[in-house]
Each structure stands twice: as structure tokens, then as C-alpha cells.
């Protein structure tokens, strides 16, 4: 099989097996996808969906194509409004900046609103090392923080947790048995986290988008924790990917129109917050300091490559909601911050194929991801490209390479090909029981483990064709020949 | 002037499902098409291309280009192989000496149902087939070629046939070429769900445009002890053709 | 990392040298399928508020709005209401408070409203605190009918037209705070207000 190390492949298989073998997870994945797909149907009825996706693609393509210009403009404008911008080349620089800021501001209690990038750079442990308590406030992130797990889905990190699992988790925290009722558990989380918000020293968020010509940070949320995190603590830190910009406020329109539908199946989220600098003099509330950490961490290396448009992603999660592979294996199988089709492409690009050798191959290339993508990224095409790259980097197995080489030779010589076909039937017959093959070796065994295979007919098509009686023409399938030929069958006519 | 077309039977079709090619020829000829079979054809190179072995894929594809060089039109009994030629040959030969030939072949290659409906513009068929029939829309055929309605329209022309839509027809069957044997557990989970949908549809026959997908679904149906027959659309039309 | 080096890396990867001109930023804004928001924004706004489970009080004047707010505060027994000083009036049951974290109800004035999405757009600047529409469990907005715009793009264009006037925070609020993170069941009032009220003032 194609993997740089069989240990890596075994670990992947083990993660996959855990999800495939868990009926609860299987049910969550299926019903979650069905639910999201139904909701998105409504969007397609209401909006000229293709035009809006084209619009998102256009704005993001323009921005990334001129990213240097917009990053510079964005940083300038954030600073003009009193914010501080730090450009972090990699995860370590980003972590160190935020940790140092936490020390300098004596931030002992830090609240966080959802940020995939902060997960990507492993920020929390670095902050905890300064002695700070770090609390995730997005309900899904709060849940997985309590479990010590990674997100299962980009938009809904805790969708894999059952009501009972969450009830038990919260009950332990509460020190009493809580009822198995989502509303009651939500209210518990509200009370629990409200205390944290009110006494936090620092709030850390991601950014859905940064607006270059105003220096504005845009947050798209439903719960209100993003607003709390950016209003109550003295210091607000934004950790964002360097590519998550738009040129101006008008350019936000297609993104804010499409993202809520694709991400959560809603026309709009409860809150969209546009933050430009820290509080101004005379403002009743808001943070005193705003820091924006722009994270590269491998993104710039993708610029100028055939994969550049992966940076157009707006992290809507729609590709996860339609992927038939994700539907079976869930987010943890990907062993990376980003899962699903976006993860299968982005993670190898950010961290290298050897670290994520299985991901581009964990796909049937069905193309559902490309079809649904908010920004018109040809995700499936990139999977073909990454597979080519994997082979070029020597991550393919010698057995498969030899097999494809041999097959290619046969395809160049039709007579050789024909001979191989003739040899196939008796070979398969060795494994057959009657007309059906139920066992085998190598790839055949992989097939027959779960599927039957019918023995092929005695003669290949090319032999049948050669053995056709001469003088064919207008022959109907019944085997009777019609007299003459010269029938003119074009345009709207029926068969003879 | 008669319509001429070369049959692309595909490596899988040639070796494992010759009756599908035979049926396609019968239907095309009954519709007045002069069919030829360029004997130099073997494999379009899709399996190697999908697995990342582009050099091997190009070798097969070059031979394929040569085989069909003299063809006016090419009709494929596999949507995914037609998609390989149409969508990936230009990419595979980009910057290569064969680029123009690849683009030219792509421009004259069709999938079987697409050829009948869009090129021959058939609106009636003397075909009878009673019973409930459901259709698997293969992913490459649907998404890369945009072929969705054509097979449905053809089924609608069959007398006595009751078309029952397949639930969640947009879901992949799990074949994905070498994916089925490289990641067999995931593939099996996917085909299991597809089989659930086939059985839930109440269909007495499953048809489709790609023998790779149909072989996959058929293999799992049989392993689960189900008896729903599985046939390529060309077989359904040929077998029900009224004399 | 020095910012110059950070930018240079991006520039080099994009094979841009110097500071070549950037074409104008695209502003694609596809037509709406339905003309409802553009042709009858008030009606559309009211429809969307209903879908979002926002309680609507249509009133003929600001004076009527104040009476209606007072009636609600009385009915609910809210002891404390926070709002910007300029929005307050004498005679409200209970007490006006400055600190939103102590209030049971918060009142704010909308800069604009968006018909297509049922959104209230708030300028958070000066005494118009962010907390007024965030911390209390119940949140209310005074919306003048004349300030209803068809859709989000209209508000963005207006904000873009006056960049020097952009406050530190603009909030777009559409319904109550909610989540479906616990087994996919929708629950309101997670961190933000659970109840939202709108007084829609005609003739303003």
C-alpha cells in the first residue's frame, strides 16, 4: 500500500477502524450530513447560488493573488486605529508572541473564542506554561477541551459527543448530576463561562475575515462568546491565517452571504461583529489593547504553486458535510487540525506529505467537495495533484509502481494485453467457487473480503468483435438482419 | 450520411464485461450508427492517473490516442473513462507533443447515454422492460461530465418500466478505482450504505453508466445475499429491444 | 520576524517585485431572487423577525415606543435596564443602570436594520456600549422604519462610504444567541441574550 511507513498507515487504519466500528459515531455523522445537506437546499432555492459562489471565489482569488499588498494595507490600518500587528513566520513565533503578551499584561485568566489557527499552532499549552488558565468558550470547543480531544468537525467540534457524554462531563464539572436536557446543559455552560468572561484578563479569538482597507476584524458567530471575548477582557488578541483577508467592506458581502448557509445552514448568524482597533477614547466598553497575530506557518509556501487557490478557503466546512469518506470516518481519522477534504489537501501542503501521506489517498475522488466549495476551489483536482506529488516524492510503494509500469507496457501492446486477458480468467478461476470469486491474494483479497466478484465471460470483447460475421450494418439486437442499409437516422427520429 | 462512431469499450469492459460492449453495439447499430472498434485500444490510463503515476498513465494514454486517431466520434460505455479523456487528457498532455491530439480526442468523445440523447437526439425507443428500475449516477459521470438527465430520459422511453429514484443518489458508491482495494474498509462502509439505498428503493433492477461502480455495488449486493440484478444501461436497452 | 521579511516572502512566492499596481478590488453583488426586501422592506423585515423568534412591537411614534417598553418592563418585573444615557427617559419602571452586567434588560438604538435577514445594525461607540445588547438576558432595539435597508451589502456600502467614521465596533444582531452544539438540538441564550425585542417605529 502507498505510505512512507507502514506504521503511519497502521495508525491511520486504527483511527478509521475506531470510527467505523462505533455505531453512535456512524449515526451522528450520517444524520449530521443529511441535516446540513437539507438546510443548504433552502439556500439554493433562495439565492442564485452559482453566482454567489462565483462571487466568493472572485473576491478571494483577487485578494490572494495580491496578498502582499493587502497584508501590508491591513497591518497599516489596524495600527492606524490603535491596534498592534505581529507577523509570525511560524507556529513557534506566534505562540511566543502571545505567551509573552500574556506575561507582560499579567493575564492569568484567558478566554478563547473559536480559532482553528490557534489549534494549528498549539497555542493553549504555551499559554498554560505561563501559568494562565485558558478557557475555551465556544460550546463545542469547551466540550472538547474538557475531554482533551481534537475537533471532530471544523464548524461543530463536538458533534461526535452524545447527550449522555456531555451530561456526564458537565455533571463532573458541576459536582452534581445534571439532567439529560440540552437546554439545561446549555444554561449550565452559560453560567459556568459567564464567570470566566467577567473576570478574564485576555480574550483570544480567530478572525473569519480581515478587511484590508479599514483594518477591520470580522467575526461570524451564533453564541455570543465572540462578542463577550472581544468586549470584556482588557486585552484582545486575534490569531489569524495571513490569507484570511478581503480588500474592503464591500468585498465582504458574498462571503457573509454564503458562509452562514454553508457553515450552519442559516441565512445569517446571530452575530456578525466588525472590530476596528481597540476601544476609542470615550467608548463605554471594549478592550484597551488589540493585537493581531498574522500567521504564515507554511501558507506562503503554497503561494505561486498550483495549489494557491487552497488559500481561498473560508473555512465554511461544507466540504466535510458532503464528503462520503468523511461521512464514514469522521474528523479524528485525519489526525490534523483540519479534516475532511480541506484537511486532506491543506494539511499535507502545510506540514508536508510524509506527515500526512494517507490523506490524499483517503478519497474516492467523487468530486462532491469541488461541487460544494464556497470559493470554487477544485479540491478533488488537488487530490490528484497530491497523489502525483506523493509518488514523485517516493512515498508510493514499489509494488504498485511495478504493477502500473507492467500494466502500462501491456496497454502499449494490444496483443500482449489480449494475452493477459486470456490468462486472467483461469487465474481468477483458482479462487472461484462456481461462477463467483470470494477470496484471493493482494488487491483481490482486499476486494473479496467484503464483495463478491463474478468470473468474467470466456471471451473478451475484442475477441468477440474479431469473430463477428462480416458485412454488418443496421443489425438489430434480435440478431435478425434488416435488408439493406443507408438508413438516415438523425434528429428527433425514433429507432427503426 | 450515416453517423459513424468508434466504440470505447474500456479495459474493464473488454476484460470483465464484454456483454456490455456487445449490447452497446447492438443498440447503436439499431439506431443507425455505423460502429467500429479500433483494436489498438486497451486502457485510457485512468487507474494509473488516479493513483499518481502520471508517467505510466501517459504511456497508456499515448497508445489510446493512437488507437482513436482516425475516429470521427468515440462512444464510451464508461462515464468515468470518457471523463478521463475529456477532463484529464488535456492536463496529462499539457506541454507535451500530443497536446493537440489529446484536446481533439477530448472534443469528440462521448458517454453512451449522452451520445444517444444529445448527439443522436433519440426521443423514442422500441424497448420494453417491465418492473421497477433504479439508476446509479456515477460520480465522475455526474460531476465531471454533467450527465444526469440523459440516462433518466432514456429509461423514461422504455415501455413498462417504472423508474424509482435511488435515495441519496449523489453519494459515491465507494469504488474510486484503486481506492476500493487500497482503503477497502472505508470503501466497504460506503458501498454498504449504497446497497441499503438500492434495497430501500424497492427496485427490481439496478442500472447505471459505469461498470466499475456497478461491479462494486453488485459485488456487495451479492455478498449480502440480495438478488437485485445489476445491468449497464446498454444491456437494459438491448435486452428489451422489440424486434 | 521583521515585517519586511514576512511580506517579502509572500511577494517572492507570488513573483511580484517592487510594488506593481493592483487592479481594483471586485465587488460582486448578485441580484436577489426575490424583490421582497427591495420593494417592501418593512414587510420583509417583519417576516424575518418572526422567523428568528424576535418579538416585534410595531408603534406609531417614539413616544408610543417608550410607553410600550415601559409596559414590557413592568410586565416582566425587570428591576434594572441598561441603555445609553441619551436613550433614557423618566418614568421607566425599575431603574436605569450604567453597568450592563447588572441589568436584566438592555436597550439600544439601531443605526440601520436589514430587511432580508431581520438584522439590527448597531454602532457601538461612546455611550452606546457593546454590553447593552450582549450581557442582559433580554435585549431590545428601537428601529426606525426609515432606517431599514434591503440587505447586508447596502449596510456594508454605507460603512465603506465613510471609512473615517467607522467605530471600534459595529454589531450585526439577528435574533437571540443560539447553539446546536449539544446533540444538534437548538438552544437559545448561550452567552448572549435569550430574548430579543424590536420596537419598529413608523413615521421615523
Tell me: the pLDDT tens digits for A77-94? 999 999 999 999 999 999
B48 and A421 in contact by Cβ < 8 A? Answer: no
Give the model's pLDDT for residue A409: 97
DSSP conformational letter for C86: G
User: Which grid coordinates are listed for A5?
Assistant: 511507513
C19 — pLDDT class (breaks 50, 70, 90): confident
Q: Residues 372-391, chain A: which have Cβ within 8 Å of B?
A: 384, 386-391
Give the model's pLDDT for residue C126: 97
B18 and A466 in contact by Cβ < 8 A? Answer: no
In chain A, whose CA is at the least distance from the CA of B144?
Answer: A367
Mean pLDDT of chain B: 97
Query: Where, residue-wise, is CATH 3.40.50.1860 in chain B?
Result: 125-239
Other C-beta atoms closer than 10 Å to the C-beta of A479 total 8
- Starting at the edge strand found earlier in the chain, the sheet holding C95-97 runs C55-59, C195-201, C138-144, C105-109, C80-82, C95-97
**CATH number for the domain running over B3-118:** 3.40.50
- Specify the CATH number for A47-301; select among 3.40.50.300, 1.10.240.10, 3.40.50.10420, 3.90.650.10: 3.40.50.10420
Separation in Å, CA B124 to CA A494, A495, B22, B206: 5, 7, 21, 22
The partner residue sitting opposite C130, judged by closest CB among A88, A242, A286, is A286
Q: Does the pLDDT at position A3 exceed 70?
A: no
A472 — pLDDT class (breaks 50, 70, 90): low
* Distance separating alpha carbons of residues B197 and A333, to the nearest angstrom: 25
- Which CATH architecture is the domain B125-239 placed in? 3-Layer(aba) Sandwich (3.40)
Question: What average pLDDT score do residues B29-39 get?
Answer: 97
Give the model's pLDDT for residue A470: 76
Please return the burial class of A164, using the count of CB atoms within 10 Å of its CB with bins 0-12, 13-18 and 19+: exposed
Tell me how far the alpha carbon of residue A118 is from its chain's centroid: 16
Return the domain boundaries, chain A: 47-301, 399-466
Closest to B30 (Cα-Cα) out of A277, A334, A480, A371: A480
The partner residue sitting opposite C182, judged by closest CB among A186, A230, A257, is A186
B194 touches A: beta carbon within 8 Å: no
The partner residue sitting opposite C3, judged by closest CB among A87, A251, A253, is A87
C203 — pLDDT class (breaks 50, 70, 90): confident
Do C and B make contact, counting contact as 3+ CB pairs within 8 angstroms? Answer: no
Longest dimension (CA), chain C: 67
* Distance separating alpha carbons of residues C106 and C97, to the nearest angstrom: 9
B188 and A450 in contact by Cβ < 8 A? Answer: yes
Chains adjacent to A (≥3 CB pairs closer than 8 angstroms): B, C
Give the model's pLDDT for residue C104: 98
Q: Does the pLDDT at position A405 exceed 60?
A: yes
C22 touches A: beta carbon within 8 Å: yes
* Distance separating alpha carbons of residues C119 and C175, to the nearest angstrom: 8
Three-state DSSP at C189 gives: coil
- Which residues in chain B are closer than 8 Å to A447, comparing Cβ atoms? 180-181, 184, 219
A192 — pLDDT class (breaks 50, 70, 90): very high
B51 and A400 in contact by Cβ < 8 A? Answer: yes
Mean pLDDT of chain C: 95
* Distance separating alpha carbons of residues A307 and A188, to the nearest angstrom: 44
Q: Where do the H-state alpha helices sit in A81-113? A: 91-104
Other C-beta atoms closer than 10 Å to the C-beta of C161 total 10
CA angle, C192 as apex, C187 and C194 as ends, to 5°?
Answer: 50
Provide the shortest C-alpha distance from residue C202 to chain A (in Å).
25
CATH class of C37-177+189-201: alpha beta
Q: Does the pLDDT at position A489 exceed 50?
A: no
Q: Does the pLDDT at position C78 exceed 50?
A: yes
A471 — pLDDT class (breaks 50, 70, 90): low
Closest to A167 (Cα-Cα) out of A156, A158, A179: A179
User: Which grid coordinates are listed for A113?
Assistant: 473564542
Percent of chain C with pLDDT over 70: 99
Give the model's pLDDT for residue B2: 87
Give the model's pLDDT for residue A165: 94
Residue for cell digits 418492473? B131
Q: What is the pLDDT of residues C39-67, one digit of tens each?
A: 999 999 999 999 999 999 999 999 999 99
Amino acid at each position: 500500500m502507498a505510505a512512507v511507513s507502514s506504521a503511519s498507515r497502521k495508525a491511520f487504519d486504527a483511527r478509521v477502524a475506531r470510527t467505523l466500528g462505533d455505531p453512535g459515531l456512524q449515526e451522528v455523522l450520517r444524520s449530521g450530513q443529511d441535516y446540513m445537506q437539507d438546510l443548504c437546499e433552502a439556500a439554493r432555492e433562495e439565492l442564485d447560488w452559482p453566482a454567489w459562489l462565483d462571487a466568493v471565489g472572485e473576491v478571494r482569488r483577487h485578494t490572494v493573488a495580491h496578498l502582499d499588498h493587502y497584508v501590508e494595507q491591513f497591518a497599516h490600518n489596524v495600527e492606524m486605529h490603535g491596534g498592534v500587528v505581529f507577523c509570525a513566520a511560524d507556529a513557534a513565533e506566534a505562540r511566543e508572541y502571545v505567551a509573552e503578551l500574556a506575561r507582560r499584561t499579567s493575564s492569568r485568566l484567558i478566554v478563547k473564542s473559536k480559532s482553528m489557527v490557534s489549534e494549528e499552532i498549539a497555542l493553549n499549552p504555551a499559554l498554560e506554561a505561563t501559568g494562565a488558565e485558558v478557557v475555551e468558550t465556544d460550546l463545542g470547543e469547551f466540550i472538547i477541551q474538557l475531554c482533551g480531544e481534537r475537533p471532530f468537525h471544523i464548524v461543530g467540534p463536538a458533534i461526535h459527543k452524545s447527550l449522555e457524554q456531555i451530561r456526564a462531563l458537565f455533571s463532573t464539572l458541576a459536582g452534581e448530576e445534571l439532567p439529560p436536557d440540552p437546554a439545561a446543559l446549555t444554561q449550565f455552560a452559560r453560567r459556568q463561562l459567564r464567570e470566566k468572561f467577567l473576570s478574564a484578563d485576555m480574550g483570544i479569538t480567530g478572525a473569519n475575515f480581515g478587511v484590508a482597507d479599514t483594518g477591520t476584524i470580522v467575526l461570524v458567530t451564533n453564541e455570543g462568546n465572540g462578542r463577550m471575548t472581544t468586549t470584556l477582557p482588557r486585552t484582545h488578541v486575534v490569531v489569524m491565517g495571513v490569507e484570511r483577508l478581503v480588500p474592503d467592506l464591500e468585498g465582504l458581502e458574498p462571503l457573509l452571504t454564503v458562509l452562514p448557509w454553508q457553515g450552519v445552514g442559516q441565512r445569517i448568524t446571530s452575530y456578525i461583529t466588525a472590530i476596528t482597533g481597540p476601544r476609542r477614547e470615550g467608548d463605554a466598553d471594549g478592550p484597551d489593547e488589540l493585537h493581531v497575530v498574522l500567521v504564515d506557518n507554511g501558507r506562503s509556501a503554497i503561494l505561486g504553486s498550483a495549489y494557491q487557490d487552497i488559500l481561498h478557503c473560508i473555512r465554511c466546512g461544507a466540504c466535510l458535510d458532503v464528503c462520503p469518506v468523511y461521512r464514514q470516518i469522521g474528523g479524528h481519522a485525519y489526525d490534523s487540525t483540519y479534516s475532511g477534504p480541506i484537511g486532506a489537501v491543506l494539511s499535507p501542503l502545510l506540514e508536508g506529505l510524509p506527515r500526512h501521506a494517507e490523506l490524499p489517498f483517503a478519497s474516492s475522488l467523487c468530486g462532491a467537495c469541488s461541487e460544494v466549495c464556497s470559493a470554487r476551489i477544485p479540491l478533488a483536482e488537488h487530490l490528484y495533484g497530491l497523489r502525483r506529488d506523493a509518488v514523485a516524492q517516493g512515498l508510493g510503494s514499489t509494488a504498485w509502481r511495478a504493477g502500473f509500469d507492467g500494466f502500462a507496457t501491456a496497454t502499449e501492446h494490444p496483443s500482449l494485453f489480449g494475452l493477459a486477458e486470456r490468462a486472467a480468467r483461469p487465474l481468477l478461476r483458482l479462487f472461484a467457487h462456481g461462477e463467483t470469486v470470494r477470496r484471493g491474494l493482494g488487491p483481490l483479497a482486499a476486494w473479496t473480503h467484503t464483495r463478491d466478484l463474478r468470473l468474467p465471460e470466456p471471451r473478451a470483447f475484442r475477441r468477440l468483435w474479431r469473430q463477428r460475421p462480416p458485412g454488418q450494418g443496421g443489425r438489430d439486437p434480435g440478431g435478425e438482419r434488416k435488408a439493406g442499409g443507408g438508413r438516415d437516422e438523425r434528429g428527433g427520429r425514433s429507432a427503426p | 450520411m450515416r453517423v459513424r462512431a468508434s466504440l470505447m469499450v474500456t479495459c474493464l469492459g473488454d476484460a470483465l464485461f464484454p456483454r456490455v460492449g456487445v449490447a452497446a453495439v447492438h443498440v447503436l447499430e439499431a439506431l443507425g450508427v455505423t460502429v467500429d472498434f479500433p483494436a489498438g485500444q486497451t486502457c485510457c490510463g485512468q487507474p494509473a492517473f488516479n493513483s499518481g503515476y502520471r508517467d505510466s498513465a501517459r504511456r497508456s494514454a499515448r497508445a489510446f490516442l493512437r488507437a482513436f486517431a482516425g475516429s470521427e466520434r468515440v462512444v464510451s460505455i464508461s462515464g468515468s473513462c470518457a471523463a478521463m479523456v475529456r477532463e484529464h487528457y488535456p492536463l496529462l498532455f499539457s506541454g507535451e507533443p500530443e497536446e493537440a491530439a489529446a484536446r481533439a480526442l477530448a472534443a469528440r468523445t462521448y458517454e453512451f447515454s449522452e451520445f444517444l440523447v444529445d448527439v443522436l437526439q433519440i426521443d423514442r425507443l422500441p424497448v420494453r422492460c417491465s418492473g421497477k428500475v433504479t439508476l446509479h449516477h456515477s460520480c465522475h459521470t455526474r460531476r465531471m461530465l454533467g450527465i444526469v438527465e440523459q440516462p433518466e430520459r432514456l429509461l423514461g422511453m422504455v415501455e413498462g418500466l417504472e423508474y424509482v429514484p435511488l435515495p441519496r443518489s449523489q453519494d459515491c458508491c465507494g469504488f474510486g478505482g484503486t481506492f476500493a482495494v487500497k482503503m477497502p474498509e472505508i470503501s466497504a462502509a460506503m458501498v454498504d450504505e449504497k446497497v441499503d439505498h438500492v434495497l430501500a428503493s424497492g427496485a427490481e433492477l439496478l442500472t447505471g453508466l459505469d461498470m466499475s461502480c456497478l461491479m462494486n455495488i453488485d459485488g456487495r449486493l451479492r455478498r449480502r445475499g440480495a438478488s437485485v440484478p445489476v445491468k449497464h444501461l446498454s444491456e437494459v436497452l438491448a435486452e428489451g429491444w422489440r424486434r | 520576524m521583521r515585517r519586511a521579511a514576512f511580506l517579502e516572502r509572500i511577494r517572492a512566492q507570488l513573483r511580484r517585485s517592487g510594488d506593481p499596481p493592483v487592479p481594483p478590488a471586485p465587488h460582486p453583488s448578485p441580484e436577489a431572487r426575490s424583490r421582497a426586501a427591495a420593494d417592501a422592506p418593512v414587510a420583509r423585515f417583519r417576516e424575518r423577525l418572526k422567523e428568528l423568534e424576535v418579538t416585534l412591537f410595531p408603534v406609531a411614534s417614539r413616544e408610543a415606543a417608550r410607553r410600550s417598553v415601559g409596559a414590557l418592563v413592568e410586565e416582566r418585573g425587570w428591576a434594572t435596564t441598561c441603555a445609553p444615557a441619551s436613550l433614557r427617559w423618566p418614568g421607566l419602571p425599575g431603574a436605569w443602570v450604567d453597568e450592563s452586567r447588572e441589568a436584566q434588560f438592555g436597550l439600544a438604538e439601531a443605526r440601520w436594520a436589514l430587511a432580508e435577514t431581520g438584522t439590527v445594525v448597531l454602532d457601538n461607540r461612546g455611550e452606546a456600549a457593546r454590553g447593552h445588547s450582549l450581557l442582559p438576558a433580554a435585549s431590545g432595539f428601537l428601529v426606525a422604519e426609515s432606517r431599514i435597508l434591503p440587505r447586508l451589502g447596502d449596510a456594508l456600502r454605507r460603512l465603506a462610504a465613510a471609512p473615517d467614521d467607522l467605530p471600534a465596533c459595529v454589531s450585526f444582531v439577528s435574533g437571540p444567541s443560539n447553539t446546536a452544539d449539544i446533540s444538534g438540538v437548538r438552544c437559545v441564550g448561550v452567552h448572549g441574550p435569550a430574548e430579543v425585542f424590536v420596537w419598529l417605529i413608523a413615521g421615523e
